[in-house]
Amino acid sequence: MLRKTKFFIDGKWVAPDVAKELEVINPADEQPFAVISLGSAADVDKAVEAAQRAFPSWSTTSRKERLALLEKLLAAYNRRMRDMANAISAEMGAPMKLALESQAACGAGHIKSFIEVLQRFEFEEPLDEKNPGERIVREPIGVCGLITPWNWPMNQVTLKVVPALAAGCTVVLKPSEIAPMSSIVFAEMMEEAGFPAGVFNMVNGDGPSVGEAMSRHPGIDMMSFTGSTRAGVAVTKAASETVKRVTLELGGKSPNIVFADVDLVDAVTRGLAHCFENTGQSCNAPTRMLVERPVYDKAVDIAAKYTATVKVGDPSEDGDHIGPLVSEMQFDKVQGLIEAGIKEGARVVAGGIGRPEGFNRGYFVRPTVFADVNNEMRIAREEVFGPVLAMIPFETEEEAIAIANDTPYGLSAYVQSADKARAQRVARKLRAGMVQINGTDRPYGSPFGGYKQSGLGREGGKWGLEDFLEVKAISGFEEGLG
């Protein structure tokens, strides 16, 4: 059993104030494989004090100094990519190919992208040509509390830690207690890269203790949170008493509008593959497939046939199969929502309740497709966070847009049409932070985030850096004086 019970505070690995241990479970066999510590408010105090001490000097380092350290981090990350993939696969069940090529790899992708953003970013500029003496200066906001979930652990950690440090902030990271091993590897990389003591601190723990203590802490200037809407609201409330900036990446129930003029096999299977990727545990998963009525039955048939071929398997094996869900809690939640779909009258055309054939342990579920779904059903409104697709018919473009926007969320949306002008027209009308047309991938550096209850702020690119900056206006500024 791996023992990783220390926290990274002030440049050192330190024992928690009070020993309280938690076993980390491998979702593929339900067995513990590591032990971590759950911290307390006293550990948060120590980490915040270290971050506060480091801030004056880190916030005044030059762009060149920060870039040099981020380059070292990228080198350490690339060298230990396989360790990272192994940690992610064991803690949250991503099959090795996905763990290596997507889950671990995207961390390096984000570090590289933020290096490019920092190389070009304008921290200072005059207000406009008419007002050269009105200087607009962007400065780091201060000490940042970062809370991340288990579903794309390194994606979320690098989308927060790297821009915060690039901006000149110092940080306290609390990764998910369900998937903490990848962040421990990340902290080792930060140590190897040689960031000054206190610039990056990491405390493990659960939401109600460490997460809550961070959100309330008067020494933290900003909270950046990714996870459920429930916990995001809790962070926001706790942070309000000290008027912190709060950025949130929350859930989604993203629509995928499929018009009749597309190559249907291509569009439907692509949508399903994306919905099932990471065992459906992605906030931007296209979980509501809206299909134009004349091709709806055909699309359901294609979806049923494709889903029957989707393999579920052990994460340690090579291949394109999907792995288990992350935890017993998620397994129960997904089973409950599949049951709710059946009770509300949706038609199961693939998958269903229970484990796939051949599995008697592990949090494996059956990839499931529901047809005849209407947008009022729970499976159309709630984030399932499992490999479950809801297929809804529509008659007109206007109806498709109305159904797509009829959700408390607004993270991603997807449009499939051979008519490019229509696809763009529909994309403009969708109330979502991101719209992907005809399966086009998003590049690194594009802003990630949502409208409505999907969150506040944007991660990635220059927008991700700006979220960690204050804006100062200096009037009466003369160039070259200091």
Other C-beta atoms closer than 10 Å to the C-beta of 66 total: 19
Exactly one of 169, 212, 283, 383 is catalytic; which is it? 283
Dist CA 225 CA 283 (whole Å): 13
**Residues 159-198 as x/- pattern, contact with ligand NAD by CB under 6 A:** ---------------x-xxx--------------------
Determine the interface stretch with ligand NAD among 248-256, 287-295, 296-304, 463-471 (rule: CB under 6 A). Answer: 248-256
Task: Among 95, 198, 211, 445, indicate the residue that binds ligand NAD (CB under 6 A).
Answer: 211
Kindly indicate which of the ranges 64-72, 228-236, 337-345, 441-449 contains the residues binding ligand NAD, using the contact rule CB under 6 A: 228-236
By C-beta, is 166 or 202 nearer to ligand NAD? 202
In DSSP terms, which residues pair with 403 in a beta bridge?
Answer: none
Closest CA to 391 of 267, 227, 214, 232: 267
Q: Does 465 bind ligand NAD (CB under 6 A)?
A: no
By CB under 6 A, is residue 379 in contact with ligand NAD? no
d(CA 24, CA 40): 18
Q: Considering only residues 7, 385, 409, 414, which one is a binding residue for ligand NAD as defined by CB under 6 A?
A: 385
CB of 207 to ligand NAD, least distance (A): 2
Distance CA 23, CA 143 (A): 30
Given the residues 177, 212, 249, 292, the one annotated as active site: 249
Q: Decide: is 250 part of the binding site for ligand NAD (CB under 6 A).
A: yes
The question of whether 241 is a catalytic residue gets the answer: no
**283 a catalytic residue:** yes
Of these, 11, 145, 153, 207, which contacts ligand NAD (CB under 6 A)?
207
276 binds ligand NAD (CB under 6 A): no
Shortest distance in whole angstroms from residue 67 CB to ligand NAD = 29
Residue 471 is encoded by which pair of tokens? Answer: 């804006």
User: What is the rounded CA–CA span in Å between residue 301 and residue 369?
Assistant: 10
Give least dist CB 283 to ligand NAD, A: 3
Cα separation, 235 vs 240, in Å, equals 9
3-state secondary structure of 291: strand
3-state helix, strand, coil in the chain (%, to 5): 40, 25, 35
Q: How many chain residues bind ligand NAD (CB under 6 A)?
A: 29
Q: Which residue in 149, 153, 280, 464 binds ligand NAD (CB under 6 A)?
A: 149
Q: For residues 195 and 331, which CB has a smaller minimum distance to ligand NAD in the complex?
A: 331
Supply the minimum distance, in Å, between the C-beta of residue 425 and ligand NAD.
Answer: 28
Q: Is 473 exposed, middle or buried (0-12, 13-18, 19+ CB in 10 A)?
A: exposed
Spatial CB neighbours of 364, under 8 Å, sequence gap ≥ 6: 28, 312, 323, 324, 325, 355, 356
The answer to the question of residue 246 lying near ligand NAD (CB under 6 A) is no
Q: Which is nearer to ligand NAD, 249 or 292 (CB)?
A: 249
Q: Please report how close the Cβ of residue 295 comes to ligand NAD at its closest, in angstroms.
A: 31
Give a three-class secondary structure readout of 350-379: ECCCCCCCCCCCCCCCCCEEEECCCCCCHH
Least separation in angstroms between residue 174's CB and ligand NAD is 6
CA distance 474 to 471: 10
Beta strand pairing status for 434-437 and 2-4? Answer: unpaired
Query: What is the distance, to the nearest Å, from the Cα of residue 244 to the centroid of all Cα atoms in its chain?
Result: 21
Which residues are marked as active site?
249, 283
Q: Which residues bind ligand NAD (CB under 6 A)?
A: 147-151, 174, 176-178, 206-208, 211-212, 215, 226-228, 231, 234-235, 249-251, 283, 330, 333, 383, 385
